[in-house]
Amino acid sequence: MSSKPAKVPPARLVRIIDSARNALHTVTRAMVPGNIALLETAQGAWVSQALYVAAKLGIADELANGPKTAEQVAAKVGAHPDSVFRLMRMLAGRSVFNHRADGRFELAAMGQALRADVPGSMRSMVLFIGSPEHWAEWGELLYSVQTGRPSPEKLYGKSYFDHLDEAPEQAAIFNDAMSTMAAMANDLVIPAYDFSEFRLIADIGGGHGRLLSAILQSAPAARGILFDLPSVIAGAAQVLDEAGVSDRCVVEGGSFMDSVPDGADAYVLKSIIHDWDDDISEKILRNVRTSIARNGRLLLLEIVLPERATANWGAVLDMEMLVSPGGRERTRAEFADLLARSGFRLTRVIDTATPMMSIVEAVPA
């Protein structure tokens, strides 16, 4: 899979398009009888599973070089020809494939993102969302809504991340999906924030260091600390070397549940706080508060939910946080309250090119 993200258009343009999409969605739904609109919405799980099967079989990759019949695709992927035709016909109705007049199928624009080898590929995310294990977790949504607890506690008797420690295949699927989103985040965050004023930047829970590498490339006078679990940072050296920043970056192993490295004037946490409930999030943030320089800044790279419900992708991800890790997405007001309880003061929320990522900036209170 290519780790290079697709080119991100200007933030203002994306916001205008997103607002137009929401308006069109509302108008379209209003024109369809309520019972039909509800039925179409309820079928979304079927579409998700169809996308998973197409990704698992590599159908989009088979169409990369041009149109093919379903029989040709089925022969390549080792599947039942008529069933492959029916799957592709279904997804053509969802604009993933085009069904040509000559009977062959070709990739539509959306289907290109289902390929494994293209910038901006979402194949690993589709494989994660539709995997049997994740399917089972969402099958316990009722349990999560009734109890407020994540479904892995019922399914596995432990937290989601503790389960991943004992399920290497599932962990690999999860990590591939998160790498896809991390690659996208780099192109969103770097143009939106000036990191050059910082002396020492700590990326907490920074994985293999792809985001920190991009930050240090944008701030050539800064040094970095990459901090994550020892088992995770074991794979960081190659990433830092390839980015040409290894001479300006220290790699430290540890858990942000216990402590974080001292003395940085910028602490970056990308998609960390949304994994946890308020109590654990406050514990993590207090650890940062203990270590941050007096004039330092905390940067949370997170979805920021609107105060009122819209067709915002973040509200869907918020339910994912409830079902799997037991965390949540938050509004600006909720971030301000959480930060205040953790010894910080929210200074601003900076939009990036998409509502999928904002920069929540705070300073020690």
What is the distance between the alpha carbons of residues 282 and 342, in angstroms, rounded to a whole number? 5
Q: What is the CA radius of gyration of the chain?
A: 22
Using alpha carbons, list the distances in angstroms from residue 17 to 20, 23, 30: 5, 10, 20
274 is catalytic: yes
Is-contact 154 206, C-beta < 8 A?
no
Is-contact 130 45, C-beta < 8 A?
no
What is the distance between the alpha carbons of residues 25 and 39, in angstroms, rounded to a whole number? 16
Single-letter amino acid, residue 161: F
Strand intervals (E) in the chain: 97-99, 105-107, 200-204, 223-228, 249-253, 266-270, 297-302, 304-305, 330-331, 344-351, 358-364
Residue 146 burial (C-beta neighbours within 10 Å; 0-12, 13-18, 19+): exposed
Using alpha carbons, list the distances in angstroms from residue 30 to 26, 34, 121: 6, 8, 33
What is the distance between the alpha carbons of residues 123 and 116, in angstroms, rounded to a whole number? 6
Among 99, 163, 208, 274, the active-site one is: 274
Is-contact 133 167, C-beta < 8 A?
yes
* Catalytically annotated residues: 274
